[in-house]
Amino acid sequence: MKAARYLVELGIQPSVQRIAVMDYLLTHKTHPTVDEIHQALHKSIPTLSKTTVYNTLKLLSEYGAAIMIDIDEHNKRFDGDTSPHGHFQCSSCNRVIDIPLDNGRELFLSEVDGHTIASVQLLYKGICAGCKAHNDKTKQN
Protein backbone atom coordinates (compact mmCIF):
# COMPACT_ATOMS: atom_id res chain seq x y z
CA MET A 1 0.00 0.00 0.00
CA LYS A 2 2.55 2.45 1.20
CA ALA A 3 4.87 1.85 -1.72
CA ALA A 4 2.11 2.35 -4.29
CA ARG A 5 1.02 5.63 -2.76
CA TYR A 6 4.64 6.75 -2.57
CA LEU A 7 5.17 6.15 -6.27
CA VAL A 8 2.01 8.05 -7.19
CA GLU A 9 3.08 10.97 -5.03
CA LEU A 10 6.34 11.10 -6.94
CA GLY A 11 4.56 10.98 -10.28
CA ILE A 12 5.55 7.42 -11.14
CA GLN A 13 3.03 5.07 -12.76
CA PRO A 14 2.50 2.36 -10.13
CA SER A 15 2.75 -0.90 -12.04
CA VAL A 16 2.76 -4.18 -10.16
CA GLN A 17 6.48 -4.58 -10.81
CA ARG A 18 7.40 -1.07 -9.72
CA ILE A 19 5.37 -1.33 -6.54
CA ALA A 20 7.06 -4.62 -5.74
CA VAL A 21 10.55 -3.19 -6.21
CA MET A 22 9.77 -0.03 -4.25
CA ASP A 23 8.18 -2.05 -1.48
CA TYR A 24 11.19 -4.31 -1.35
CA LEU A 25 13.50 -1.34 -0.91
CA LEU A 26 11.32 0.15 1.81
CA THR A 27 11.10 -3.07 3.79
CA HIS A 28 14.65 -4.34 3.31
CA LYS A 29 17.36 -2.02 4.55
CA THR A 30 20.06 -4.34 3.22
CA HIS A 31 21.12 -2.21 0.24
CA PRO A 32 20.34 -5.03 -2.17
CA THR A 33 21.81 -5.61 -5.61
CA VAL A 34 19.70 -5.92 -8.75
CA ASP A 35 20.13 -9.65 -8.57
CA GLU A 36 19.05 -9.90 -4.95
CA ILE A 37 15.91 -7.90 -5.65
CA HIS A 38 15.14 -9.93 -8.72
CA GLN A 39 15.59 -13.24 -6.96
CA ALA A 40 13.52 -12.16 -3.98
CA LEU A 41 10.61 -10.89 -6.04
CA HIS A 42 10.72 -13.76 -8.47
CA LYS A 43 8.85 -15.90 -5.95
CA SER A 44 5.77 -13.69 -5.91
CA ILE A 45 6.07 -12.44 -9.51
CA PRO A 46 7.50 -15.33 -11.52
CA THR A 47 7.45 -13.40 -14.79
CA LEU A 48 9.47 -10.49 -13.46
CA SER A 49 12.51 -9.91 -15.64
CA LYS A 50 15.85 -8.55 -14.62
CA THR A 51 15.49 -5.90 -17.30
CA THR A 52 12.43 -4.56 -15.55
CA VAL A 53 14.26 -4.49 -12.25
CA TYR A 54 17.02 -2.52 -13.94
CA ASN A 55 14.52 -0.19 -15.58
CA THR A 56 12.61 0.34 -12.36
CA LEU A 57 15.66 1.05 -10.24
CA LYS A 58 16.89 3.54 -12.80
CA LEU A 59 13.49 5.21 -12.75
CA LEU A 60 13.32 5.28 -8.96
CA SER A 61 16.78 6.82 -8.80
CA GLU A 62 15.83 9.51 -11.30
CA TYR A 63 12.70 10.40 -9.35
CA GLY A 64 14.54 10.49 -6.05
CA ALA A 65 12.75 7.46 -4.65
CA ALA A 66 15.97 5.51 -4.25
CA ILE A 67 19.71 6.02 -4.18
CA MET A 68 22.24 4.10 -6.16
CA ILE A 69 25.23 3.27 -4.00
CA ASP A 70 28.55 2.85 -5.77
CA ILE A 71 30.24 1.08 -2.90
CA ASP A 72 30.34 -2.43 -4.26
CA GLU A 73 33.12 -3.36 -6.63
CA HIS A 74 30.99 -5.71 -8.67
CA ASN A 75 27.35 -4.68 -8.35
CA LYS A 76 25.26 -1.62 -8.09
CA ARG A 77 23.39 -1.46 -4.81
CA PHE A 78 20.22 0.44 -3.98
CA ASP A 79 18.78 2.15 -0.94
CA GLY A 80 15.19 3.25 -0.40
CA ASP A 81 16.31 5.54 2.41
CA THR A 82 17.06 8.86 0.75
CA SER A 83 17.92 10.79 3.90
CA PRO A 84 21.53 11.94 4.36
CA HIS A 85 23.67 9.13 5.71
CA GLY A 86 26.86 7.24 4.90
CA HIS A 87 27.55 3.61 4.05
CA PHE A 88 30.07 1.08 5.20
CA GLN A 89 30.92 -2.10 3.35
CA CYS A 90 32.66 -4.98 5.07
CA SER A 91 35.31 -6.47 2.83
CA SER A 92 34.90 -9.78 4.59
CA CYS A 93 31.13 -10.44 4.55
CA ASN A 94 30.32 -7.79 1.91
CA ARG A 95 27.38 -6.45 3.89
CA VAL A 96 26.58 -2.76 3.51
CA ILE A 97 25.73 -0.98 6.74
CA ASP A 98 24.24 2.48 7.28
CA ILE A 99 26.46 5.04 8.99
CA PRO A 100 24.53 7.86 10.67
CA LEU A 101 26.12 11.28 10.37
CA ASP A 102 26.31 13.18 13.60
CA ASN A 103 28.66 15.91 12.57
CA GLY A 104 28.97 15.25 8.86
CA ARG A 105 25.63 16.63 7.85
CA GLU A 106 27.28 19.75 6.54
CA LEU A 107 28.78 17.58 3.83
CA PHE A 108 25.43 17.34 2.13
CA LEU A 109 25.71 20.68 0.44
CA SER A 110 24.21 22.11 -2.71
CA GLU A 111 27.38 23.84 -3.81
CA VAL A 112 31.15 23.57 -3.42
CA ASP A 113 33.83 25.63 -5.14
CA GLY A 114 31.22 26.89 -7.60
CA HIS A 115 30.17 23.37 -8.58
CA THR A 116 26.48 22.55 -8.28
CA ILE A 117 26.06 19.38 -6.26
CA ALA A 118 23.27 16.96 -7.09
CA SER A 119 24.26 14.07 -4.84
CA VAL A 120 26.73 13.13 -2.13
CA GLN A 121 28.01 9.75 -1.10
CA LEU A 122 30.11 8.99 1.95
CA LEU A 123 31.58 5.52 1.61
CA TYR A 124 33.57 3.56 4.16
CA LYS A 125 35.27 0.21 3.67
CA GLY A 126 36.83 -2.08 6.22
CA ILE A 127 35.97 -4.95 8.54
CA CYS A 128 32.64 -4.85 10.34
CA ALA A 129 32.26 -5.43 14.06
CA GLY A 130 30.73 -8.86 13.54
CA CYS A 131 33.50 -10.15 11.30
CA LYS A 132 36.17 -8.68 13.55
CA ALA A 133 34.75 -10.51 16.57
CA HIS A 134 34.58 -13.72 14.60
CA ASN A 135 38.16 -13.36 13.39
CA ASP A 136 39.44 -12.68 16.88
CA LYS A 137 37.68 -15.78 18.15
CA THR A 138 39.05 -18.11 15.48
CA LYS A 139 42.54 -16.74 16.01
CA GLN A 140 42.49 -17.79 19.66
CA ASN A 141 42.85 -21.49 18.76
Partner DNA sequence: CTTTGTGCAAATTCTTTGCACCAAA
Partner DNA sequence: TTTGGTGCAAAGAATTTGCACAAAG
- Which own/partner contact pairs does 51-56 have at CB distance under 8 Å and 24+ positions apart? 52/17, 53/17, 53/21, 56/17, 56/18, 56/21, 56/22
Report yes or no: 76 and 70 within 8 Å, Cβ to Cβ. Answer: yes
Report yes or no: 47 and 4 within 8 Å, Cβ to Cβ. Answer: no
Query: Of 43 and 139, which has the nearer Cβ to its own copies?
Result: 139
Report yes or no: 12 and 59 within 8 Å, Cβ to Cβ. Answer: yes
Q: Read off φ and ψ for residue 19, nearest 5 degrees.
A: -60, -40
Q: What is the bridge-based pairing of β-strands 96-99 and 111-112?
A: unpaired
Identify the residue among 8, 16, 93, 117 touching its own copies (CB under 8 A): 117
Query: Of 13 and 110, which has the nearer Cβ to DNA?
Result: 13
Binding to its own copies (CB under 8 A): which residues in 51-110? 70-71, 73, 88, 90-91, 97, 99, 103-104, 106-107
Quick one: what does residue 71 bind among DNA, its own copies, none, with the CB cut-off 5 to 8 Å set by partner type? Answer: its own copies
Quick one: what does residue 70 bind among DNA, its own copies, none, with the CB cut-off 5 to 8 Å set by partner type? Answer: its own copies
Query: Of 13 and 110, which has the nearer Cβ to its own copies?
Result: 110
- Residues in contact with its own copies by the rule CB under 8 A: 70-71, 73, 88, 90-91, 97, 99, 103-104, 106-107, 112-129, 132
